[in-house]
Amino acid sequence: MSQSSSSFLERHQFLIYRLFSLAGLIPVGAFLVVHLLTNSSILAGDDGRTFQSRVDMIHSLGPLLIPIEWAFIFLPMLFHAAVGFVIIANGMPNVGSYAYVGNVRYTLQRATGMIAFAFIVWHVMQLHWLGQPFGGGRFDPHHAASSAAEALKPTVVAILYAIGVLSTVFHFANGLWTLGITWGLWTSPAAMRRANAVSVVVGIGLAAAGLGALGGMRSLDVVKAREAETWMEKQKQVLSVPGAAVTPVPIPSPAK
Amino acid sequence: MIKAVGAMADLAASAADNGDHQAESRESESRMVRVRVLRQDIAGGESYWERFEVPYEPNMNVISVLQKIAAQARSQDGRHVAPVTWDCCCLEEVCGSCTMLINGRTRMACSALVDKLVVEDGEEIELRPMSKFPVVRDLVVDRRRVFRALEKIEAWVPVEGSYDLGPGPRISPEEQEDAYPLSTCMSCGCCLEACPQYTKIEVVRRDDESEADFDARRKAAHDSGFIGAHAISQTVLFNAHPTGRMIADERMEALTSKGGIQVCGNAQNCVAVCPKHIPLTRSIARAGRAATVWAIKKLFDR
């Protein structure tokens, strides 16, 4: 028997694959939803004020943000990607011989997974401060909209982002449907069709949010946005000074 | 299983030379069925294409084409060649032994009608052995892995004993209706051939290896590979049976071991190619649900 060659990973294949499946939804997929919805707040039409306040809310976590990011975003994503590459390497797509819709989706799921991985690595390097040693890290949380808008200015970047966002959203929406089969949530063909309709709606909604955010960032008036952000930044500084008034505008104190 | 051998081939070939075919109608004489077969003389050997031409007859299936090829034992260019070898048995799509790739798709040769093939895919018919199993010779493949998977998940009702166990429990008509389609599985392997997650495992015997050692090594290799849709569906069938359920935990253990249900990639080709129209994806989802419950039980009930 090949008992000696059966590694830890082989003995716990079921657990690992199920954790891989779960990680795609929670936390990675959940983060994707929050991320795209947050970004789409750029469409509020207030020179990025709403977007800036959402970013401020996230950054109010302060030093906790880094461990939270690693525990709930980066590490689960790397785990999902690592197992995903093993799964891709062990499969043999055959759409050429069997061009069924399900099979096309199977193949697309793998293709978009790889595109999404490459895109996310680039995206993080380009905008997140982790990318600063590599000349990236261009996102400034104090100037959220304007710094993001400038990074997305080049047409090539915008096209690559559109491809990346659509691939990621397809991978998530289709993954949502297959996850339900894997865990046994929907079992009959009719239930699978209904779940598929829900996945399609989720996918279209997220694609609209993602592409809307991209378009919103690119059509942003960077000068106005920067002014708004600077003003909001000053407000925060006033608020953070100990003993300062609750609002920058002085109001008469009722208790005398 | 019948392996078509060339014993009768020479006789038939000489009969054809005698000019018997001239008695046939002019239409069938002029019309020939052209076939391209991917051949292989020996396990692990080189494969090569060979073309054949056999006189057309109405309502031919691929098996009857292969029988004619065996009878004439001549390639299209007139060379005398060994007849093509293939597996078949029932000739009515219930035994599952004549699976092969016909025009690139997995199906049963007995139910593949020449008239339809010609209309759908053009004049020449292409025959290849299944690609997911080791070739024994020509169109005959070694499908022991299919049956090994059934052994692994114990696809039977355990009633062996030395005394009378009495009558079995009653099964409601609803349960019968649910189970019946799953019981029509004939282990033909179409679902495995079409599955992108099911990849070929070919274990070659070493020179210094005993038959028993080789057998053990082959079984271990098969056990570590994907069990496939057929075995997952049989798990559902036997775990739904009141008596079969007695060893449900053993089946779930096998189903969630390496190469188990988790390897399924949800391409759903299995259900699309199944000649018996078994609801395989429903079985997979049900087995997935059972595996979820079983894993939680295993984690917390011990």
- Contact between residue B135 and residue B141 where contact means Cβ atoms under 8 Å apart: yes
Q: Do A102 and B291 touch (CB under 8 A)?
A: no
The runs of H, that is alpha helices, within chain B are: 9-17, 26-30, 62-72, 114-121, 144-152, 173-183, 190-194, 211-224, 229-240, 248-255, 269-273, 280-300
- Among B198, B233, B266, most A C-beta atoms within 10 A, so best to mutate, is B266
- CA dist B269 and B186 (Å) reads 17
Q: Do B285 and A187 touch (CB under 8 A)?
A: yes
**A93 backbone dihedrals φ, ψ, rounded to 5°:** -55, 145
Looking at the structure, tell me whether residues B160 and B273 fall in a common domain.
yes
Give the confidence band of A145 by pLDDT, cuts at 50, 70, 90.
very high
- CA dist A135 and B151 (Å) reads 58
Cβ contacts of B71 within 8 Å, gap of 6 or more: B8, B9, B12, B13, B16, B83
Q: What percentage of chain A reaches a pLDDT higher than 70?
A: 91
Read off the amino acid at residue B165. L
* B36: β partners: B51, B126
Looking at the structure, tell me whether residues B148 and B172 fall in a common domain.
yes
State the pLDDT at residue A239: 74
Looking at the structure, tell me whether residues B89 and B153 fall in a common domain.
no
pTM comes to 0.89
Q: Do A106 and B265 touch (CB under 8 A)?
A: yes
Q: Do B288 and A184 touch (CB under 8 A)?
A: yes
Q: Do B259 and A13 touch (CB under 8 A)?
A: yes
Task: Supply the range of the domain harboring residue B198.
Answer: 143-300
Which chain A residue is nearest to residue B213, measuring alpha carbons? A1
- CA dist A154 and A48 (Å) reads 20
User: Domain containing B167 — which CATH number?
Assistant: 1.10.1060.10
A61-75, B2-16, B126-140, B192-206: the lowest-pLDDT one? B2-16
B interface with A, Cβ–Cβ below 8 Å: 104-105, 194, 196-197, 199, 216-217, 220-221, 224, 256-269, 272-273, 279, 281-282, 284-292, 295
Q: Do B194 and A106 touch (CB under 8 A)?
A: no
- Contact between residue A222 and residue A149 where contact means Cβ atoms under 8 Å apart: yes
- CA dist B239 and B246 (Å) reads 8
Mean pLDDT score across all residues of chain B: 90
Q: Do A182 and B288 touch (CB under 8 A)?
A: yes
- Contact between residue A14 and residue B257 where contact means Cβ atoms under 8 Å apart: yes
State the pLDDT at residue B181: 97
Of A1, A18, A102, the CB nearest to B268: A102
Tokens coding B291: 């595996």
What's the pLDDT tens digit per position in B228-279?
A: 999 999 999 999 999 999 999 999 999 999 999 999 999 999 999 999 999 9
* Domain stops at, among B102, B137, B172: B137
User: Domain containing B112 — which CATH number?
Assistant: 3.10.20.30
Which chain B residue is nearest to residue A103, measuring alpha carbons? B267
State the pLDDT at residue B95: 96
Looking at the structure, tell me whether residues B271 and B161 fall in a common domain.
yes
Looking at the structure, tell me whether residues B169 and B276 fall in a common domain.
yes
Shortest distance between the Cα of B110 and any Cα of chain A, in A, equals: 20
- CA dist B52 and B33 (Å) reads 8
Beta strands at B32-40 and B47-55: parallel, antiparallel or unpaired: antiparallel
Backbone Cα Rg of chain A: 22
- CA dist B100 and B123 (Å) reads 19
Give the confidence band of A242 by pLDDT, cuts at 50, 70, 90.
low
Looking at the structure, tell me whether residues B117 and B215 fall in a common domain.
no
What's the pLDDT tens digit per position in A54-82?
A: 999 999 999 999 999 999 999 999 999 99
Written as one string, the DSSP assignment of B205-231 is: PPTT--HHHHHHHHHHHHHHS---HHH
Give the confidence band of B2 by pLDDT, cuts at 50, 70, 90.
very low
With H, G, I as helix, E, B as strand and everything else as coil, classify residue B46.
coil
- Contact between residue B152 and residue B256 where contact means Cβ atoms under 8 Å apart: no
A11-20, A143-152, B15-24, B114-123: the lowest-pLDDT one? B15-24
Which positions in chain B touch A4 (Cβ < 8 Å)?
A: none
Q: Do B224 and A6 touch (CB under 8 A)?
A: yes
Interface of A with B in 144-183 (CB under 8 A): 178, 181-183
- CA dist B221 and B152 (Å) reads 12
Of B199, B220, B289, the CB nearest to A1: B220
Q: How far apart are the first and last CA of chain A?
A: 87
State the count of interchain CB pairs (< 8 A) between A and B: 112
- Among A1, A11, A13, A22, most B C-beta atoms within 10 A, so best to mutate, is A13
> How many C-alpha atoms does B292 have within 13 Å on its Cβ side?
18
Place of tokens 């053009």: B122
Q: Do B267 and A92 touch (CB under 8 A)?
A: no
Of A1, A92, A102, the CB nearest to B199: A92
Looking at the structure, tell me whether residues B151 and B296 fall in a common domain.
yes
* Domain stops at, among B116, B137, B158: B137
* Domain stops at, among B87, B121, B137: B137
Domain boundaries, chain A: 10-235
CA A200 to mean position of chain CA atoms: 18
In this structure, the number of other CB atoms found within 10 A of the CB of residue A233 comes to 13
- CA dist B281 and A189 (Å) reads 8
Shortest distance between the Cα of B127 and any Cα of chain A, in A, equals: 14
Instruction: Count how many domains chain B has.
Output: 2
Looking at the structure, tell me whether residues B178 and B217 fall in a common domain.
yes
* Domain A10-235 fold: 3 helical TM bundles of succinate and fumarate reductases (1.20.1300)
Which positions in chain A touch B201 (Cβ < 8 Å)?
A: none
Looking at the structure, tell me whether residues B49 and B67 fall in a common domain.
yes
- Contact between residue A176 and residue A26 where contact means Cβ atoms under 8 Å apart: no
Looking at the structure, tell me whether residues B118 and B210 fall in a common domain.
no
Q: Do B199 and A11 touch (CB under 8 A)?
A: no
Shortest distance between the Cα of B68 and any Cα of chain A, in A, equals: 28
Looking at the structure, tell me whether residues B124 and B177 fall in a common domain.
no
Give the confidence band of B31 by pLDDT, cuts at 50, 70, 90.
confident
Q: Who has greater pLDDT, A238 or A176?
A: A176
Looking at the structure, tell me whether residues B240 and B269 fall in a common domain.
yes
Shortest distance between the Cα of A122 and any Cα of chain B, in A, equals: 27
Place of tokens 């290896």: B209
Check pLDDT > 60 for residue A2: no
Which positions in chain B touch A97 (Cβ < 8 Å)?
A: 104-105, 194
Cβ contacts of A69 within 8 Å, gap of 6 or more: none
State the pLDDT at residue B1: 39
Beta strands at B135-137 and B47-55: parallel, antiparallel or unpaired: unpaired
Give the confidence band of A6 by pLDDT, cuts at 50, 70, 90.
low
